[in-house]
Structure 1
Amino acid sequence: MRNFRFRNTVLVAAASALTAGIAIASLAAAQATPGTTVQAAAGATAEPTPSATAAEDTAPPLAVENFQHPGAARLLTERKITLKQGDGHIRLKEGVENNTVAACQAANDIFVESRLDKNGYCFTVTGTSGYLAMELPEVYMLWTEDRSVSAKLVASGQEKLVSVGPNTAQPVGEGLPGGQRSVLVELRVTG
């Protein structure tokens, strides 16, 4: 009788170990990268189900903010402005109807005049602060509405920071007497 109990205990322990090994193999298979196989404890292989792989292939991509201005490549081609990066609070208004001083007079607007485009460039601000890095050559005038703006310009390799108060038209670069052609490289809303 004692030998029977010993065999019974050994069989129950072996069955428990086998069950645990199968459970671990199943868990590893469920967490496997699609298209990979996992070696199970008993030597079998477990592959992810085709439906799980198909669902992962159709999942939308993760949203990762890269701070690039939407449509920057197109705007370079169409408007000759390189919009590099920003915090999303200063955006170039698109459409011919937004490219004049008269059309760019909302409280959140900043208007930039450049010899590259006879109409100009209207930017809108969506917050109390904002930042946009760009390259806009031959800028000669900045117009603000209700916002104070700091503009960084480069002329002959020298950077110049210009502060423009609210409701102001500020000549810059060659818009000033004796001024040089300047590239607007940054706009910041300061108030």
Structure 2
Amino acid sequence: MRSIARAAVIGTIVGAVAVSGIVGAVAADGGAAVAAAASADTPPPPAVEDFAYPGADQIFKDRGIKLKSGDGNIILAATCSPGMLEIDARPINIGRYCFTTTGASGRLSLELPSTVGVSTPVNYSARVVLVTGTETKIQDLKPGTWTGVGETTDPQQRSFTTLEITTTLVK
């Protein structure tokens, strides 16, 4: 009789262990499934775009213009051709920088010392922000024109640095 009782107790224990193992495995799988579902419902962190101008350090070394940031619609060109936005700076004929303009509008933050003129494409108006010392000048430029800026329009002929260009497509 003792053997039967012992067998019954052992059988109960083995059964309980087996059942708890199955329940534990299901709970573990269910927990993993819940965790997987939760991570699938959680969007990844947003990509942060700083709008820094690509290759700006090398461009500054090679060409002497510091390009900071923009929206990608005003791009420095390797060479000038008709229809581009052109900024002239001292020394004349060496400080000539041309930009392709795309999109309905564009923005470029930069530093270009000794700016003397800006030529706009026929289909874009532009605004340039220039600074000398503590004075800031904003000039609105009509499409298809060359406009003197900075020292060429300053009564004291002070040197101005261009800090920002914005363009707007004219329809």
- TM-score, length of structure 1 as denominator length: 0.67
Query: 1:63: Cα distance to partner?
Result: 7.0
Aligned residues: 147
8 Å Cα contact 1:116/1:137 also seen in 2: no
Task: Point out where structure 1 has 5 or more consecutive residues left out of the alignment.
Answer: 32-61
* Distance across 1 between alignment mates of 2:92 and 2:75: 17
Query: 1:155: Cα distance to partner?
Result: 1.5
Aligned position for 1:125: 101
1:66 aligned to 2:50? yes
> Kindly tell me: are residues 17 and 117 of structure 1, through their superposed partners in 2, closer, same or farther at Cα, counting changes over 3 Å?
farther
The AA in structure 2 aligned to 1:170 is: T
8 Å Cα contact 1:153/1:160 also seen in 2: yes
Where does 1:13-28 land on structure 2 (aligned, <5 Å)?
A: 13-20=19-26, 23=29, 27=32
The AA in structure 1 aligned to 2:139 is: V
8 Å Cα contact 1:79/1:117 also seen in 2: no
Q: Deviations over 1:61-119 (max 9, x none)?
A: x975321111100111111111001111111002xxx14xxx2x22xx21000014624
2:117 aligned to 112, 128, 141, which one? 141
1:163 aligned to 131, 137, 140, which one? 140
Query: 1:180: Cα distance to partner?
Result: 1.8
* Distance across 2 between alignment mates of 1:162 and 1:150: 6
Higher relative contact order (CA 8 A, sep 6+): 2
Query: 1:159: Cα distance to partner?
Result: 0.7
1:89 aligned to 73, 77, 80, which one? 73
Q: Deviations over 1:109-131 (max 9, x none)?
A: 21000014624000111211000
Q: Deviations over 1:108-158 (max 9, x none)?
A: x21000014624000111211000000000000000012000100002221
Aligned position for 1:173: 150
Query: 1:174: Cα distance to partner?
Result: 1.1
* Distance across 2 between alignment mates of 1:83 and 1:117: 20
Task: Point out where structure 2 has 5 or more consecutive residues left out of the alignment.
Answer: 37-45
The AA in structure 2 aligned to 1:149 is: A
1:112 aligned to 2:112? no
1:10 aligned to 2:16? yes
Query: 1:24: Cα distance to partner?
Result: 7.0
The AA in structure 2 aligned to 1:183 is: T
Q: Once the two structures are aligned, what percentage of the paired residues are identical?
A: 29
Question: Does the residue aligned with 1:67 lie in a helix, a strand or coil?
Answer: coil
> Kindly tell me: are residues 117 and 171 of structure 1, through their superposed partners in 2, closer, same or farther at Cα, counting changes over 3 Å?
closer
* Distance across 2 between alignment mates of 1:117 and 1:70: 26
* Distance across 1 between alignment mates of 2:25 and 2:75: 60
